[in-house]
Structure 1
Amino acid sequence: MRESHNLSGLWNFRIDRKDHGEREAWFAESLKESRQVEVPHIWQREEDYVKYCGTGWYEKEFASLEIPTDRHAYLHFGAVDFQARVWLNGVYIGEHEGGFTPFEFDVTDVINRGEMNRLTVRVFDPQDNAEIPIGKQGSWYTRISGIWQDVTLELRANSFIQQVHAYPNIDDEIVEAKLTISGEIEGELVVEYVVTDHMDPQNILSIARESVTDNEAKHVIPLKNATLWSPQNPHLYDMLVKIIDVKSDIIIDEISIYFGMREIEFHDGQLLLNHKPLYVRGALDQAFYPDTIYIAPSDEWIQNEINLAKQMGFNLLRKHIKVEIPRYLYWADRMGMLIWAETPNVVKWSEQSRQRFHSELIGMIERDFNHPSILIWSLYNEEWGLEWDLANDIEKQEHVKRMYDEVKQLDPTRLICDNSGWVHVKTDINDHHRYFVLPEQIEEWKSDIDDYMAGTPEKNYVKGFKPEGEPIIVSEFGVWGLPSIQKLFEYYQGEPSWFSNLGDDTHREDFKNPLTALRNFEKYQLNDIFGDFEQLSFYSQRRMYRAVKSLIEEMRKQPKINGYVVTEFTDIEWETNGWLDYTRNMKLGIDHAADFNGSLIVMADRMKRNLWCEEEQAWDVIICNDDMLPLNGVVKWEICGTNECGSIPLHEENRAYVKLSEVIQFTVPAVPKASFHRLKLTLVLDGENAAVNEEELTISPQTGMSRVAVCAYKLGGDFKAVLQDNGLSVVDTIEAAEVVITSSLDDAVMEYYRQGGHVLFLAEEGDKLSQKGQFTFRQLVQGESWDRTSSFNYVDPGYFEGIPLLHEMGWEMEGLYPEYIVPFSNYNKLGGTMGRVVYMFGNENITETSRILSGYFQGWLGQAGGSLIVQRSAQGSLILTTWKLKDNYGKHPIATQLVNALIMKRNEY
């Protein structure tokens, strides 16, 4: 029988900066000038080695062992990043490279039997890591180096079971076991398979025996009336596999695995788990941790994470370009969390990098084959390692096809995604990575869903390849929400090491560096609007909740989309788009995430959010019913704070998607002043509240303006007419005006301003304006943009008393968000047909000469600019705004009130 000894725990450790250790034979004697560390160990956890790449040495002494003559001793490493060279008792026993998968050595001939043993490991992790599988450690976040998973010493028979893979077949009610035996087959041997219930091992469900004639064996084991594994019922079975000598009836070796009876497939764009529709509600999980970096601190931590994920409505975690540790996968299996597994990427396309990548991919699949929670293998992510040229490079296309075919042959029980998020060649998942920010880009997002992803799936394939009914999944999207710096500093008892951004130079922009926030908070007058950073993080998280809720709801309104994976489950260091912060606290509002991210949700559709009193409205209701429950009940709705409410009867079969057209009908009630309101929806089934949802509204009465004399300078007759309709006195000349409203900051307007006049500069067209004075503008990225999802538009609502405005600018600003800002920070843009980077300049000085009432930043308060800026002359004032007010004045309730307020406050600037 096997005998296992855990060699993890206290080891000696020493850095070798000049790489002298092997030349000086450090392996030949006890390691000098070392410190004690706890293995598993990542040396970047040590404060003085957090930025170190290179060579480190580990040493462990352990007691002698009694090794029977029919046994071999194997030294097993769970994972060492990146290259390990190993000595036992000063004797070199081998090396391995690859930082994520296990390896082992037969040390029978060198292990001491009557005295202490000394194990020495030289670990090398190169700084130039473009040709090694790394994932995002070291490139985006803190680097990982060292013996970071367990080390064991195991005594085994001369012939032993190397691995067992279980292939469940739910239709035939069987499981096929494929067995690999290491060593020579001597004598008459049989393999015995015993299947039991994982939670009741005494209950034997099936026994089978087969003669052993080769090192490769397979056997079909019947499993009648098996309980199928699913997220709702994650039932597991154990399989005890034994090699038995027939003559002596002695067990030579045995190994226990577990498996689940489940099947994943797709048909006509629909994922099917155990032949039932599966809708993916996933989160991207990069599995970094605040103290232990790349290793979950404990089983309790893992269980808590999975429970939180389920509480938030998720049924899948996409383990992003990291081979997850086995303990996490075990609890995913036990607790019913689906896993999308993904190989760590290389950067450079070379023969050696491809070999290394292939080795880690195959090693991951072989190690993790029996985990029923894993439904999908990803080969590449966004062409990382393919040098972003898959669409035009036939060699790389053929390479991806070969990889797909090889993995499918190795594991036909799972789906394969060839190139997650970008163009596909040969795949089982047509997935997209699409980054939009809401409410700012709501119309663009709807179009991207309906016209691009759902409407033309073939556009996501390399030319010459086409979709064949693969399910469409949006496997990356998301929005940032800044964490509490105070809580982070309390957790770390000071400034975290990663606050200066420990990634490489490709991810060092100002908005990715938390220290930028400390520099810019007061510099850009954010303290005047938010008070302190804790308040800003509150509003940032509220904005994030609003955005991801709406992003997800719009996808769920389109039945051709088969699911999504939000970026992301938790913050990682500087990247703060997690639903949990880095220390695993839920962000604001996320405790209600299941209202839109759960298996059963109710939503309003085709609704108008900013309403005038007395308007007639008719809105739709959509129900997403992933678990296919019978829908017999009612949908109740109400406009909170008013008397408008109703009840919609439901008598629907157990359909996954139900749309009820124009069932919310009402006349917008009269209110005394403009104010926020909420639409509340409640789905009631069998007398119980089964789902709730809320949407933000504003309701405004139509009120006129006092007879202020305004000149709509070079703005056209339509705008003048709207001003008059709102009660303003429109004059023809600048000289006769109390306020000049214009999009042309020419010499006449500037002279009027210098002479004490009041100017409202509607600069929403930015650099398209021919007369914009000394102001320069930055156009924000239009369409899909990862960077822009870190952005934050804000305003000082206290300045606009009586107008329903939020600090973080929400749905009340729908259609009004700026396309241009006045840049404070330097920034880059892509120029010309070649897409070359053009370096552009901001003007920080403007924050010292002006009052900033509204602005924009990305991430940690970088890439900043203003969208409502006030300057003064001796007696006059000039207010510049890039909000989209000109064409919305008189139509959009909030736009109308904002323009009126800016006119009335002309003397308060």
Structure 2
Amino acid sequence: MKKIRVLAILAFVTTTLTAQWKPAGDKIKTKWASQIDVNNVLPEYPRPIMERDAWQNLNGLWEYSIEKKGAAAPKSFDGKILVPFPVESSLSGVMKEVGADQEVWYKRNFSVPSNWNNKAVLLHFGAVDWETEVWLNGVKIGSHTGGFTPFSFDISPFLKSGKQELTVKVWDPTSDGPQPRGKQVKNPDGIWYTPVTGIWQTVWLEPVSKKHIEDVRTTPDIDQGTISFEVAAAGTTYGDVVEITILDGSNTVSTTKAAVGEPIVIAVPDAKLWSPESPFLYDTKIALLDNGKAQDEVQGYFAMRKISKKRDDKGIMRMQLNNKDYFQFGPLDQGWWPDGLYTAPTDEALKYDIVKTKEYGYNMIRKHVKVEPARWYTHCDRLGILVWQDMPNGDNSHDWQNRDYHKGNEFERSAKSEAIYRKEWKEIMDYLYSYPSIVIWVPFNESWGQFKTVEITDWTNEYDPSRLVNSASGGNFFQTGDILDLHHYPAPNMYLYDANRVNVIGEYGGIGLPLEGHLWKTGNNWGYVKFNNSKEVTDEYVDYAEKLKELVSAGFSGAIYTQTTDVEGEINGLMTYDREVDKLDIKRTNQINTEVINALNE
């Protein structure tokens, strides 16, 4: 009888929580929206490249209130919001505008598991857009600026017995501020989309020892057959040791020990190389030892792969993967969702676009002016897809020209704006450094906020010499960086050529097909060209791809087709915005894409 009563109470609580939330608005939604469990939102471990066994998810229903900027903390709240979906999204259950004159307040209670006693407790935020302040039990414990990178606080000193009260305040000026924001604007239209304010990635707790691992940085060297580890740790003393075990499945490749703070280089004999065709990952176990006793242990992975450039036998500068000429071909992927905006409804949804990209026959994705949750990059690593990672643009545009690679006008940012860019670009590179799928950094796109191009490019090259830098995708080239990146719509075209750099077409295509029942907007939908059915769109795509094959032999080493999905008013995706319809014939598209990729080595 007691068990039945407990089950009845749990069922009542679950039903009550569900009744407090439903998707807001009448916009189209993905199939995954109906699969959301408010008691178990995005339950997967958020950081699989450095994973611990114990953690607690704080996603779910929080209290929220939208207040005038600078106002005191609210005494009562407006209602419930489903974290981690942004305030403006349908899946938040709120779907309200915020803007630069207001702030979002969040509040929830949580309990710390009793078996975490004598542990330090870390409070992690996957990403919050843009300026965040955090209170625990009425004490302000920290703040953070930046909308795309994770941050955390050791909340141990501020815990009390029983329930803990967590309060978060967020301000986001969107297009009224100079901060990196990607495609977000306060008046969305055309290629510019709905603002994203507040918490948009998983919030979670993690218990660690006073001595614990903070970060693991891996750098492969396939020419030497080695992998380098830099392990950062907190609370350590002289004599503490890092132990690294490398695994190939269940087989131990090697075990190595070194003093904390020492760089570690480990031989990987007969290394299995990672590529989109064979995405092999070595597993790792990394332990922090004090007098031989483990204080902390994390599990992760790395890959042996190399991205580089080299002239071919015709004198053309080519991109190489693992020391072989390799044509990189993929879609422009903006990572937007009709129901969650920046936030995919489920982990299956997050993975889906990558799976479809592979089905279409591509080997690469350009992640366009957005940074994804850590799990997205792990999916790329595991599935085998190369990634060109854009810096999300911010501040204002300037004069854009894409017909002369000797010059280009730059935007003159304020000292504050420059500092924000530099801080956030470094944090993004630090956050993503160890994901092998990422092969190219893209600091600027089409002059959007572009400044001091040569200086930023040189810094990016020096900070991460293991990857190529595409300094200015689409124009204002300045003869800097590793790549000359042209944009041309709708058909691909080589209107410039640089004998000293890799040449790519970083955007082309944009073939539009509006499909009733799958549109974000009822009118004013657009593509660079429009057609009436899947056959017409596929025919046009194949025609462009045939032109692209000819340009591969002429000198192109990579290409980006616009785009993976429709996004809001743009209807030029390979899929509809709700991911319900593949607009192109997958078999025909895969076949021609494979021919384009193989054209380089014919």
- Which TM-score tier does this pair reach, normalised by the shorter chain? 0.7 to 0.9
Q: Which has the higher strand share?
A: 1
SS at match of 1:209: strand
Partner deviation per Cα, 1:418-475 (whole Å, 9 max, x = no partner): 11111323211111111245xxxxxxx6xx42xx33xxx24xxxxxxxx52x221101
Distance, in Å, in 2 between the alignment partners of 1:20 and 1:270 is: 53
The answer on whether the counterparts of 1:481 and 1:541 sit within 8 Å (CA) in structure 2 is no
Residue identity in the other structure for 2:512 = G
Tell me if the contact between 1:241 and 1:256 (Cα under 8 Å) persists in the aligned partners: yes
Whether 1:9 and 2:60 are equivalent positions in the alignment is yes
Q: Is the 8 A contact 1:479 1:547 kept in 2?
A: no
Using the TM superposition, give the Cα deviation of residue 567 of structure 1 relative to its aligned residue in structure 2, in angstroms.
Answer: 0.9
State the alpha-carbon separation in 2 of the partners of residues 66 and 410 from structure 1. Answer: 43
Partner of 1:239, secondary structure, is strand
The CA deviation at 1:561 is 1.3
When structure 1 is superposed on structure 2, of 409-418 and 537-546 the one drifting more is 537-546
Q: Which residue of 1 aligns with 2:252?
A: 204
- Match of 1:625? 598
Q: What is the rounded CA distance, in whole Å, between the counterparts of 2:489 and 2:574 in structure 1?
A: 16
Aligned pairs (5 A) from 1:794-873 = none
1:580 Cα deviation after fit: 1.2
How big is the shift at 1:3?
A: 4.2
Q: Secondary structure at the match of 1:115?
A: coil
Deviation at 1:540, TM superposition (A): 5.7
Q: In the alignment, does 2:419 pair up with 1:355?
A: yes
Partner of 2:224: 172
Letter in 2 for 1:296: A
Partner of 2:295: 252
Deviation at 1:164, TM superposition (A): 0.9
The 5 Å alignment of 1:423-438 reads: 423-425=476-478, 426-436=480-490
- Once the 2 structures are TM-superposed, how far is the Cα of residue 191 of structure 1 from its aligned partner? 0.9
Q: Is structure 2 residue 89 aligned with structure 1 residue 45?
A: yes
Alignment correspondent of 1:561? 556
The Cα of 1:551 is off from its aligned counterpart by 2.1
2:239 alignment partner, one of 188, 205, 216: 188
1:265 aligns with 2:308: yes
Report if aligned partners of 2:178, 2:395 keep a CA contact under 8 Å in 1.
yes
TM-score when normalising by structure 2: 0.81
The corresponding residue for 1:161 is 213
Tell me: CA distance 1:551–1:211, structure 2 relative to 1, closer, same or farther (3 Å): same
Alpha-carbon spacing, 1:302–1:71, altered in 2? closer, same or farther (3 Å): closer
| SS of residue matched to 2:148 | coil
Q: What secondary structure is seen at the aligned counterpart in 2 of 1:317? A: strand
Q: Matches of 1:557 and 1:261 in 2, distance apart?
A: 32
Verify the 8 A CA contact 1:481 1:540 in the aligned structure 2. no
8 A contact 2:241–2:289 mirrored in 1: yes
Match in the other structure for 1:597: 593
**Offset at 1:573?**
1.0
CA drift at 1:583: 1.6
1:67·1:155 contact (CA, 8 Å) conserved in 2?
A: no
User: Residue 330 of structure 1: CA displacement?
Assistant: 0.9
Q: After TM superposition, give the deviation of residue 128 of structure 1 in Å.
A: 4.4
Cα 1:129–1:257 change in 2 (3 A) is farther
Q: How does 1:487-498 map to 2 (within 5 A)?
A: 487-488=518-519, 496=520, 498=521
Q: Is the 8 A contact 1:57 1:120 kept in 2?
A: yes
The change in CA–CA distance for 1:87 and 1:472 in structure 2 (over 3 A counts) is same
RMSD: 2.4
1:97 pairs with one of 129, 140, 145: 145
1:406 maps to which of 436, 455, 459: 459
Q: SS state of the match for residue 272, structure 2? A: coil
Equivalent-residue separation in structure 2 for 1:92 and 1:64 (angstroms): 19
- Cα gap change, 1:383/1:302 in structure 2, threshold over 3 Å: closer, same or farther? same
**Counterpart in the other structure of 2:76:** 32
Q: Establish whether residue 550 from structure 1 lines up as the match of residue 595 from structure 2.
A: no
Alpha-carbon distance between aligned partners in 1 of 2:294 and 2:247, rounded to the nearest angstrom: 19
Task: For residues 303-360 of structure 1, give each alpha carbon's deviation from its aligned partner in whole angstroms, at most 9, with x where no partner exists.
Answer: 4322321221211110000012211111111111111111111123222222222222
In the TM superposition, residue 157 of structure 1 has moved relative to its aligned partner by 2.4
Shift of 1:542: 4.4
Is contact 1:83-1:96 (8 Å) kept? Answer: yes
Matched, 1:478 2:526: no
Q: Could you say if the C-alpha distance between residues 567 and 273 of structure 1 is closer, same or farther in structure 2, counting changes exceeding 3 Å?
A: same
1:371 maps to: 435
Q: Which residue of 2 aligns with 1:521?
A: none
2:170 matched to 1:119? Answer: no
Alignment partners' CA distance in 2, 1:291 and 1:49: 10
Letter matched to residue 5 of structure 1 = Q
Amino acid at match of 2:253: L
Identity of matched residues, %: 33
SS at match of 2:537: helix
* Counterparts of 1:42 and 1:159, CA distance in 2: 35
Task: Give 2:448's aligned residue.
Answer: 384
1:83 aligns with 2:131: yes
Matching residue's letter, 2:601:
A
Cα pair 1:320 1:342 within 8 Å, conserved: yes
- Name the structure 1 match of 2:13: none
Give the corresponding residue for 1:728: none
The amino acid of 2:544's aligned partner reads L
Q: Distance in 2 between matches of 1:376 and 1:128?
A: 27
Q: Secondary structure at the match of 2:439?
A: strand
CA distance in 2, matches of 1:38, 1:220: 44
SS in 2 for 1:242: strand
Unaligned residue ranges in structure 1 (runs of 5+)? 387-395, 438-444, 459-466, 489-495, 501-509, 514-535, 602-623, 627-654, 658-909
Find the aligned partners of 2:55 and 2:251 in 1 and give their Cα distance: 26
Q: CA deviation at 1:176?
A: 0.7
Q: Distance in 2 between matches of 1:304 and 1:64?
A: 34
Provide the C-alpha distance between the structure 2 equivalents of 1:430 and 1:589, rounded to a whole number of angstroms. Answer: 31
Q: Is the 8 A contact 1:180 1:217 kept in 2?
A: no
**How far apart are the structure 1 equivalents of 2:542 and 2:420?**
40
The alpha-carbon deviation at position 406 of structure 1 amounts to 2.3
SS in structure 2 of the partner of residue 257 of structure 1? strand
State the partner residue of 2:401.
none
Seen in structure 2, the aligned counterparts of structure 1 residues 78 and 486 have a Cα distance that, compared at 3 Å, is: closer
Contact 2:124/2:151, CA 8 A, preserved across alignment: yes
The amino acid of 2:98's aligned partner reads Y
Report if the CA contact (8 A) 2:66-2:98 is conserved.
no
Counterpart-to-counterpart distance in 2, 1:64 and 1:220: 38
2:512 is paired with a residue whose SS is coil
Q: Between Structure 1 and Structure 2, how many residues are aligned?
A: 516
Q: Give, as a single letter, the amino acid of the residue that structure 2 aligns with 1:293.
A: L
Q: 1:625 Cα deviation (Å)?
A: 2.9
Whole-angstrom distance in 1 between the partners of 2:426 and 2:94: 35
Q: Does the residue aligned with 1:96 lie in a helix, a strand or coil?
A: strand
The code of the aligned residue for 1:305 comes to D
Specify which of 377, 384, 394 is matched with residue 329 of structure 1: 377
Q: Is the 8 A contact 2:87 2:97 kept in 1?
A: no
Q: What letter matches 2:69 in structure 1? A: D
In structure 1, the partner of 2:404 is: none
| Residue number in structure 1 paired with 2:583 | 587
Q: Deviations for 1:186-213, whole angstroms, at most 9, x for unmatched residues?
A: 252111011112xx2x32111101123x
> Are the counterparts in 2 of residues 89 and 118 from structure 1 also a CA contact under 8 Å?
yes
Q: What is the CA–CA distance in structure 1 between the aligned matches of 2:373 and 2:389, rounded to whole Å?
A: 11
| Partner of residue 895, structure 1 | none
Q: Aligned partners of 1:55 and 1:84: how far apart in 2?
A: 10
How far apart are 1:163 and its partner, in Å? 0.8
How far has the Cα of 1:401 moved from its partner? 2.4
- Report the Cα offset of residue 36 of structure 1: 2.1
For 1:255 and 1:169, how far apart are their aligned partners in 2?
Answer: 23
The one-letter code matched in structure 1 to 2:97 is K
CA distance in 2, matches of 1:409, 1:434: 30
